Amino acid sequence: MFKGWFRRRATVTATPSNSTYRHGNDTLIELRNVTKVFETAAGPFTALDNIMLNVDRGEFVAIIGKSGSGKSTLMNMISGIDRPTSGEVFIGDTAVHTLNESEMAVWRGRNVGIVFQFFQLLPALSLVENVMLPMDFCNMFTPRERRERAMMLLDQVGMADQAHKLPSAISGGQQQRVAIARALANDPPIILADEPTGNLDSKTAQQVFTLFEKLVDQGKTILMVTHDSDMARRVSRAVIIADGRIVNEYVAQALPALTLDQLGWVMRHADIRTYAPGAVIIEQGSPADNFYIITRGDVEVFIEHPDGGEIIVNHLSTGSYFGEIGLLRQGRRTAGVRAGFATGCEVAVLDQHEFHTLLAESEATRNTIERVARERHSQTQAAAHDDM
């Protein structure tokens, strides 16, 4: 389901490590342990649960998840439309979660452009006046410069010849183009788009998406909520959110056949562990107890040589898994695994019961893991035979 969603489309220009922002964030957008709880008639509802997210300048990020998963709430945290119950939100040099309402409005107007699914152009204003509105609100540019800039932006989105029409006189796709021009009015570094192509036909949606790609090429940072899997594959990276939690992209990469609900289940049950460089994670001959997904760093797989040495049979990196052979055979480990000597590693761990529950829920995942297990077991046997 998620195959190919996590490959970067282009090299991202990162902020130099010796040039962090004022609050210590290394990236343009950083959410630290953000939780949002809403009080409802049925009791507290956790929309976001301990979210950690970093987005750098020039990234084009798709936010993916089912209805009610927390996507829009996440966007509202970044834009300052809503505030976290706990945690911190940093955008550039600004601690957004500390701003009062008037400070927030001014900051948002200058730093974030928002594109809505339903356009939200003011019906009584012409297109050029709609684009001028954010400049008027933030007192940016002179009145003459505002009109000139608005016309320039409308020209950039191919709508300059319609500038003096009312929104009702143009199509939905044209209205979305104008909405994008309005989002760019104050030249914000960040564009947030909530299902911007959800009400457009496929051809018009492609045109709007191409426009976003051009803006990223010009240096804008874009976060886009989308249900369109084809578009999600074209962004710099995809962030999956399920049950208010961000699914680690390498877990999704390792298990691409899982649904959003199944990935959410994995993230709720997985135990995250960190191993120092060279630390042994699995000992050959030990009982098979856990399934491991590498979320950072790498590991090497080795078997014992009869003369007391070792034979390295495999190297695995982020987005790979190990430990499946012993679990499928319900026996002992056929090889040892240790964290890479250069980087160490972080792994998401499911115990034996959770592993078999997952396979029972996803036949495609079971088939893939069983095939990989057979290939790896043959590889291990061949390596042992060749080194005798």
CATH code of residue 320: 2.60.120.10
Q: Of 181, 212, 247, which residue constitutes the final position of a domain?
A: 247
Q: For residue 168, tell me if it sits in a domain.
A: yes
Q: For residue 333, tell me if it sits in a domain.
A: yes
Indicate which CATH number applies to the domain containing 231.
3.40.50.300
Q: For residue 18, tell me if it sits in a domain.
A: no
Which residue segment(s) compose the domain that 364 sits in? 264-386
Tens of pLDDT, residue by residue, the chain (388 residues): 655 555 544 434 444 444 588 888 999 999 999 999 999 999 999 999 999 999 999 999 999 888 888 898 999 999 999 999 999 999 999 999 999 999 999 999 899 999 887 778 999 999 999 999 999 988 888 888 999 999 999 998 889 999 999 999 999 889 988 998 999 999 899 999 988 877 777 887 888 888 889 889 989 999 999 877 677 778 888 888 988 888 888 898 899 898 888 888 898 899 999 999 999 999 999 999 999 999 999 999 999 877 768 889 999 999 999 999 999 988 889 899 999 999 899 999 999 999 999 999 999 999 999 999 999 988 877 766 665 5
**pLDDT the model gives residue 366:** 95
For residues 237 and 374, membership in a common domain is answered with: no
Q: Crossing angle for the helix pair 352-361 and 260-269, nearest 10 degrees? A: 180
For residues 69 and 155, membership in a common domain is answered with: yes
> Half-sphere exposure (CA, 13 Å, Cβ side) for 283?
3
Closest to 316 measured CA to CA, from 332, 296, 334, 330: 296
For residues 340 and 231, membership in a common domain is answered with: no
Q: For residue 259, tell me if it sits in a domain.
A: no
DSSP for 262-296, written as a single string = HHHHHHHHPEEEEE-TT-EEE-TTSBP-EEEEEEE
Give the length of the chain.
388
For residues 171 and 319, membership in a common domain is answered with: no
Closest to 167 measured CA to CA, from 199, 118, 122, 208: 122
CA dihedral (231, 237, 243, 248) in degrees, to 10, reads: 150
- Please provide the distance, in angstroms rounded to a whole number, between the alpha carbons at the two ends of the chain: 42
For residues 223 and 295, membership in a common domain is answered with: no
Domain count, the chain: 2
Quote the CA–CA distance of 106 and 24 in Å, as a whole number: 23
How deeply is 120 buried, as exposed, middle or buried, from its count of CB atoms within 10 A (0-12, 13-18, 19+)?
Answer: middle
For residues 226 and 268, membership in a common domain is answered with: no
Q: Are 277 and 377 in contact (CB under 8 A)?
A: no
